[in-house]
Amino acid sequence: MARVALDARLTRQMSVGMKAYTQALLDRRDLLAPDIDLVPCGYGENFGVDEQIALPLEIARSGARLVHYPTQYLPLVRAVPYVLTIHDLIHCRFAEFYEAKVAWYYRSVVGPAARRARRIIVGDERSIEDCERYLGVDASRVRVVPLGIDPAYLEAIDAPAPERPYLFYAGNHREHKDLPTLLAAWAALPERERYDLVVTGEDDFGELHARYERFGRRLIALGDIDELALRRSYAAASALVHPALWEGFGLTMLEAMAIGTPVIACRDAVPAPLAEAAVVFAPRDVAAVTNAIESLASEPSAWAARVALGRHAARELTWDRFARRIAGIYAEALER
């Protein structure tokens, strides 16, 4: 049995998708046996003493032959061979949205780490080119492992009918998520389309309420919600609208499809396994988003077919399958 250390930290710096990814591996350690003995390592936050000193020491004491760093937050000292997951390179694609120190970190830390990794793991084939372009990684060392879905998302859920029909957005409000396009498209809907717009996260919209709320439609921020509330929000929504300019995978789209909710998304954000199940639009194309929302009522049979495709894709993309494919990459890296 080969021992592999996993950087198992779940930190404030990590996105929801990163945490789900790491937790999925932790929950499936038994699934990797008897070939792989996955040993969780690490505590503390990113960019601190624990990451740079305590974590490398713990890995060295573990006796692991290989390490998996499941995010780009990793120590500078890496004495044990490793594989590295790159969830996305949004910070490089849209450098104008971030401080200069972020570009420095990717140039000085992430790039060299990626080039020395035995294998790079990404969530979708679209990220291979980004790894070549921004990190200088040879594409032959990149492996694609799509993220997975919790089986609970495929089960029927009791979701009370909403007071009014609504469109749903699940995610943070950072600039690359491009919520202005969603707000503008929603406001451009004709009066007969009575959808509210419901989003996760805090209400940081301020004067945008007055600018975009028309015909009695409401912009509603749910704040932070637990998984059960999230599943119910998907299930009761008329559609998930995901305007993000780019995603490494886009777990929220998979979750919505698993539940049977129509998905409207920016074409550059949709991973290959979900592409046929979503109605897509070009980045920042407000009119296309508005037209797609209107098609929910005008083209019900076409949407039913897409929903069926989404459910099928979700049944194929399980966390168990994900863990087995990760284990195969561990074996490949260990052979080298």
At 273-319, the pLDDT tens digits run 999 999 999 999 999 999 999 999 999 999 999 999 999 999 999 99
Contact (CB, 8 A) for 33 and 1: yes
At 239-251, the pLDDT tens digits run 999 999 999 999 9
Same fold, 2-147+319-335 and 151-316: yes
At 56-84, the pLDDT tens digits run 999 999 999 999 999 999 999 999 999 99
Q: What is the mean pLDDT of residues 26-55?
A: 92
Under DSSP, is residue 204 helix (H, G, I), strand (E, B) or coil?
coil
Per-chain mean pLDDT for the chain: 95
Identify which of 61, 83, 59 has the alpha carbon closest to the alpha carbon of residue 331.
83
- Residue whose tokens read 């038994």: 30
Contacts by residues 122-128 (CB-CB < 8 Å, ≥ 24 positions apart):
122/85, 122/86, 122/87, 122/248, 123/87, 123/88, 123/147, 123/248, 123/249, 123/271, 124/248, 124/249, 124/271, 124/272, 124/273, 125/272, 126/268, 126/271, 126/272, 127/86, 127/88, 127/89, 127/248
Could you tell me the fold of the domain covering 2-147+319-335? Answer: Rossmann fold (3.40.50)
- The domain locations on the chain are 2-147+319-335, 151-316
First and final CA of the chain: distance in angstroms?
Answer: 16
Instruction: Check whether 33 has a pLDDT greater than 90.
Output: no
At 201-228, the pLDDT tens digits run 999 999 999 999 999 999 999 999 999 9
Residue 256's pLDDT band (boundaries 50, 70, 90)?
Answer: very high
Instruction: Give buried/exposed letters for 165-190 (b at 16+ CB in 10 A, else e).
Output: bbbbbbbeeeebbbbebbbbbbbbbe
Instruction: Check whether 234 has a pLDDT greater than 90.
Output: yes
Second-level CATH architecture of 151-316: 3-Layer(aba) Sandwich (3.40)
Instruction: Check whether 189 has a pLDDT greater than 80.
Output: yes
Instruction: Check whether 336 has a pLDDT greater than 90.
Output: no
The pLDDT, as a whole number, for residue 43 is: 82
Q: What is the mean pLDDT of residues 90-107?
A: 95
The pLDDT, as a whole number, for residue 291 is: 98
The pLDDT, as a whole number, for residue 160 is: 86
Residue 158's pLDDT band (boundaries 50, 70, 90)?
Answer: confident
CA-angle at 40, arms to 68 and 52, nearest 5°: 65
The pLDDT, as a whole number, for residue 1 is: 86
Q: Kindly state the percentage of the chain with pLDDT values over 90.
A: 93
Contact (CB, 8 A) for 161 and 287: no
Instruction: Check whether 44 has a pLDDT greater than 90.
Output: no
